[in-house]
Structure 1
Amino acid sequence: MSMQNKPQMVEAVMFFSERGICKQMMFPEFEALLDGVVNMPEFADQQMRVAFVVINPRLLLKAAVFFYLDFNEDGSPDKGWNIPLQHLAERAGRGPDLGAGPIRLACRSQCPVSWHQMHLWDPSLAPGQNDLVLLRDAVKSNKLGLLVEEESVPVVAPERLQMASEDKWYAPDPAKEVAEHLAQKMDQEHRLKTAQLIKQQRLRISSLSQQHEEELAKLKLASEQQGNSLQAQIQGLQQALQQQEQLNASLKAQLAAQAESMQSSREEMTRQLRALELHGRTEGDILRAQFDSELKAKIAAAVAEYKEQVAIRDVELAYRNELEARLQQDNERLKRERDEFAGQGSGQVLERLAKLGVVFVVYHPGAGHLTIPLQDIASYQDNPMAYAAAKCFVSEEQYRRWLAHYQQPTCDAALPSGERCAIPIDRIDSPSRFTIGESNCCARHRAGSRLRTVS
């Protein structure tokens, strides 16, 4: 074998699908894919799970980095992708032993560079679905056609041979030596398998814990948003009910005043009628008839007036509803025109920058470095705090309260004198673990608040 064909350490990239490993390529081919020399139409408009691996000359894994790669509709990779795979593989922590000692493993739950964590994924370590075993078997199958180092039996140099003393020339008990050798070998294999199993279980527990924490934060955020929506609906209904009660009270007051006026008129007419009855029955009958007709006319006029007021209010209500609907339509139209105008102005500049390979990255405490897609630029400009809070799976109010706590971790409780307690407390590094009234208070005020709640 010549020096040109001597096996070397090899870097390769393997793509995962639902059925397992679906594509293998050497790292130079992957770099050509990133440079746009070739496309992969079979991965168009998909987010693929990919693994960068380092293979030794005996076809054994030495390092692995598990990352995501987005493909566009034409099968070209995302232009903003910029993960330093070789750097991550060199600085990665220890992983399971896949035949050549513990590998260097970089994944979502074990990432040496924090701002790349969101672009990595955790391999499955479940029995029967172990992604590391799939990688090991794929490397062993050698579909990439790598040069393999031939295993040779090591030859002992003559100077390393040692002569036993004469009293040990006679052969010892072979059965005892075989038993001791087998026992040592089984003990060593058992220790290696146990250490590897413990490492895999720890990695799996870390991955499950992180997934559970993210799901819990999402559920908590959804619950808070639903509670806020229901609270807003309740407030709207209460306001409408209060307005209706005020209107009913006003109408009742008007009816009472009209009834009192009519009662006084009736009493006056009755008094006049009685006075006239003294002067004659005929004139009294005439006045009584006149009184009844006038009373009926007044009642009919009052009823017509009330009906007219109700009709006027119905018309005003319908007009107000129509006006509100029209204003809502105008508001939505203006928003669309604003978005179109913003998209035609700054959006074209941002799109040209994105095509040139510029990546929009911002840093927010708790969320880390965020890569903002082009379609999210407008929403981020409208409310950066809300955008960062959504990435942390918390509400905007909780994120603002956590940020104040993160910048100055002191007790926010009020003393009887009106001043803040301001005792330094432990800083909560994650917004989703921050609880208002608990995380931003010292132990004394947390205990006091519990006692007051129980009482």
Structure 2
Amino acid sequence: MSMQNKPQMVEAVMFFSERGGICKQMFFTEFEALLDGVVNMPEFADKQMHVAYVVINPRLLIKSLVFFYLDFDEKGAPDSGWNIPLQALAERAGRGPDLGAGPIRLACRSQCPVSWHQMHLWDPSLTPGNNDLALLRDVVKRNSLGLLVEDERPQALAPERLHMASEDKWYAPDPAQEEAAKANEKIDQEQRQKAAQLIKQQRLRITSLTQQHEEELAKFKLASEEQGKQLQAQIQALQQALRHQEQYNATLKAQLAAQAASFQASREEMTEQLRELERDGRSESDNLRAQFESEMQAKIASAVAEYKEQIAIRDVELAYRGEQDTQALQEINRLKRAYAELASQGGEQILERLAKLGVVFVVYHPGAGHLTIPLQDVAAYQDNPLAYAAAKCFVSEEQYRHWLAHYQQPSCQASLPSGERCAIPIDRIDTPSRFTIGESNCCARHKASSRLRTVS
């Protein structure tokens, strides 16, 4: 075999189909040509593909794996903003299961050495019968790419390196015992390898499920706290209205007492007048007394009826307020029970329910890529999509807005003395977390750091 045909490590890229299985294989150099726009993939038009970057040794065994997403437009061209450093991730990735050549280097969503690339990676399935790692191992073993394979045949020894054994060692031990010992040792080694690989796969799967469960639990807890705050605010508003109503009722009662006192004073005055009339004439006094009594009883009855009606109305309103308070407290208790029930459920059950309902929301934002929005986040996303995208990029909404304006038109935002914008083209910052207001969106002459140096 010549030096040009000597087997060596090979980098390949494999595309997963929606039904499972590998639908496309290519060398990494071909993948780079695809990213550069030399060729397109019409069969992947307007899709988000699950892709794996694979490093293969000369014995057709996998050494490194990186699982990532790649978006294609309606013409089959890959996303021009895609910039994941696959080779660097593969070199810095953590250890994974043993696929025949020792533990592999594995980079996926739940095991990513660079945090800001985590949202662009995906976790492989490790369930028996649908194991993506085993699928890749078998596909590589079939050598559909036509890789040069290292010859595993034993090397023949030169005659001068052979030595004659002494006569007492001419007779070999029992072949049956030796074969049985080798077979037992081989079986033990295979069992240990299978057990180690299974443990590694289960640990990776537990890590992924734990992370998903913690994310779901945090979202439910946040939603419950927000709803609790809203209900608490409603209760406070009802309590304040109740206090105002009680103050109003106290005022009415005070007015009623004042009017009663006024009536009593009038009655005493009229009684004194009646006594004077009695001295003037018995008959006239009787008439005046009867008139006074009838008028007084009519006024008192009218006033008492009016205030009783007002008090009855206020009592009804107070009862209604009390009923609303009771309903609000019942709603709070129900939400607490619902939150406790949701918190007690495992992440796997919740995901199964959503999967059965088929609820999937996917949006695209520059800098964040394609985002899969859970059903409970749809309202928050509708209220403020930019804030939601900014949170996914680990930046504030203001920084994300400035970065988006810079990303769409990378030019200097500084103002000239004439009042116009500088508008000199500058280098585009592709990642929101690396964008700094006053630095990344200004040319070298207008950057804040250069102005500070000039002033000092």
**One fold, TM greater than 0.5?**
yes
Q: CA deviation at 1:71?
A: 5.2
- Is 1:359 matched up with 2:430? yes
* Mapped contact 2:274–2:288 kept (Cα < 8 A): no
Q: CA deviation at 1:220?
A: 2.9
CA distance in 2 between counterparts of 1:73 and 1:257 reads 84
Residue type of the alignment partner of 1:362: S
- Name the TM-score, length of structure 2 as normaliser: 0.60
- Is 1:273 matched up with 2:257? no
What is the aligned partner in structure 1 of residue 243 from structure 2?
242
CA distance in 2 between counterparts of 1:249 and 1:38 reads 84
Q: Deviations over 1:179-236 (max 9, x none)?
A: 2222232233233223323332333333333333333333332332233222222222
The range that moved more, 297-306 or 74-83, is 297-306
- Is 1:104 matched up with 2:79? no
What is the aligned partner in structure 1 of residue 405 from structure 2?
349
The range that moved more, 52-61 or 127-136, is 52-61
Q: Deviations over 1:77-97 (max 9, x none)?
A: 544432211111122222212
Q: CA deviation at 1:135?
A: 1.7
* Mapped contact 2:49–2:70 kept (Cα < 8 A): yes
CA distance in 2 between counterparts of 1:107 and 1:211 reads 14
Decide whether aligned partners of structure 1 residues 235 and 61 sit closer, same or farther in structure 2, where only a CA change above 3 A counts: same
Residue type of the alignment partner of 1:139: V
Residue type of the alignment partner of 1:9: M
Q: CA deviation at 1:281?
A: 1.8
CA distance in 1 between counterparts of 2:428 and 2:76 reads 17
- Is 1:220 matched up with 2:276? no
CA distance in 2 between counterparts of 1:200 and 1:359 reads 35
What is the aligned partner in structure 2 of residue 204 from structure 1?
205
CA distance in 1 between counterparts of 2:104 and 2:140 reads 14
CA distance in 2 between counterparts of 1:44 and 1:232 reads 50
How many residues align? The count is 333
Residue type of the alignment partner of 1:359: D
* Mapped contact 1:276–1:284 kept (Cα < 8 A): no
The range that moved more, 288-297 or 254-263, is 288-297
Decide whether aligned partners of structure 1 residues 237 and 138 sit closer, same or farther in structure 2, where only a CA change above 3 A counts: farther
What is the aligned partner in structure 1 of residue 156 from structure 2?
156
CA distance in 2 between counterparts of 1:42 and 1:267 reads 105
Q: CA deviation at 1:357?
A: 5.7
SS at match of 2:129: coil
* Mapped contact 2:274–2:285 kept (Cα < 8 A): no
SS at match of 2:252: helix
* Mapped contact 1:50–1:66 kept (Cα < 8 A): yes
* Mapped contact 1:108–1:122 kept (Cα < 8 A): yes
What is the aligned partner in structure 2 of residue 91 from structure 1?
92
Decide whether aligned partners of structure 1 residues 276 and 95 sit closer, same or farther in structure 2, where only a CA change above 3 A counts: same
Q: Deviations over 1:303-325 (max 9, x none)?
A: 899999xxxxxxxxxxxxxxxxx
- Is 1:191 matched up with 2:192? yes
Decide whether aligned partners of structure 1 residues 294 and 175 sit closer, same or farther in structure 2, where only a CA change above 3 A counts: closer
Q: Deviations over 1:11-62 (max 9, x none)?
A: 2233445532354242334334444555667666665433211123443222
CA distance in 2 between counterparts of 1:126 and 1:354 reads 46
CA distance in 2 between counterparts of 1:244 and 1:43 reads 68
SS at match of 1:95: strand
* Mapped contact 1:80–1:357 kept (Cα < 8 A): no
Decide whether aligned partners of structure 1 residues 104 and 168 sit closer, same or farther in structure 2, where only a CA change above 3 A counts: same
CA distance in 1 between counterparts of 2:161 and 2:198 reads 37
Decide whether aligned partners of structure 1 residues 209 and 298 sit closer, same or farther in structure 2, where only a CA change above 3 A counts: closer
CA distance in 1 between counterparts of 2:236 and 2:40 reads 55
CA distance in 2 between counterparts of 1:259 and 1:47 reads 83
RMSD: 4.2
What is the aligned partner in structure 2 of residue 146 from structure 1?
146
Residue type of the alignment partner of 2:223: A
Decide whether aligned partners of structure 1 residues 127 and 276 sit closer, same or farther in structure 2, where only a CA change above 3 A counts: same
Pick the aligned partner of 2:287 from 285, 300, 311: 285
* Mapped contact 2:407–2:430 kept (Cα < 8 A): no
CA distance in 2 between counterparts of 1:45 and 1:262 reads 88
Decide whether aligned partners of structure 1 residues 54 and 300 sit closer, same or farther in structure 2, where only a CA change above 3 A counts: same
* Mapped contact 2:108–2:118 kept (Cα < 8 A): yes
Decide whether aligned partners of structure 1 residues 127 and 297 sit closer, same or farther in structure 2, where only a CA change above 3 A counts: same
- After TM superposition, the structure 1 = structure 2 runs for residues 24-423 of structure 1, keeping only pairs within 5 Å, are 24-26=24-26, 27-36=28-37, 47-70=48-71, 77-143=78-144, 145-149=145-149, 151=151, 153-158=153-158, 159-278=160-279, 279-282=281-284, 284-286=286-288, 288-289=290-291, 292-293=294-295, 296=298, 349-350=405-406, 352-353=408-409, 358-362=429-433
Residue type of the alignment partner of 1:281: S
- Name the TM-score, length of structure 1 as normaliser: 0.60
Residue type of the alignment partner of 2:157: A
CA distance in 2 between counterparts of 1:25 and 1:162 reads 50
Residue type of the alignment partner of 1:13: V
CA distance in 1 between counterparts of 2:165 and 2:242 reads 105
CA distance in 2 between counterparts of 1:239 and 1:285 reads 54
SS at match of 1:20: coil
* Mapped contact 2:256–2:307 kept (Cα < 8 A): no
SS at match of 1:86: helix
What is the aligned partner in structure 1 of residue 445 from structure 2?
none
SS at match of 1:362: helix
* Mapped contact 1:108–1:121 kept (Cα < 8 A): yes
CA distance in 2 between counterparts of 1:79 and 1:281 reads 114
Q: Deviations over 1:402-452 (max 9, x none)?
A: xxxxxxxxxxxxxxxxxxxxxxxxxxxxxxxxxxxxxxxxxxxxxxxxxxx
**Structure 1 gaps, min length 5:** 309-334, 364-368, 370-455
**Structure 2 gaps, min length 5:** 311-382, 388-397, 412-426, 436-456
Decide whether aligned partners of structure 1 residues 346 and 277 sit closer, same or farther in structure 2, where only a CA change above 3 A counts: farther
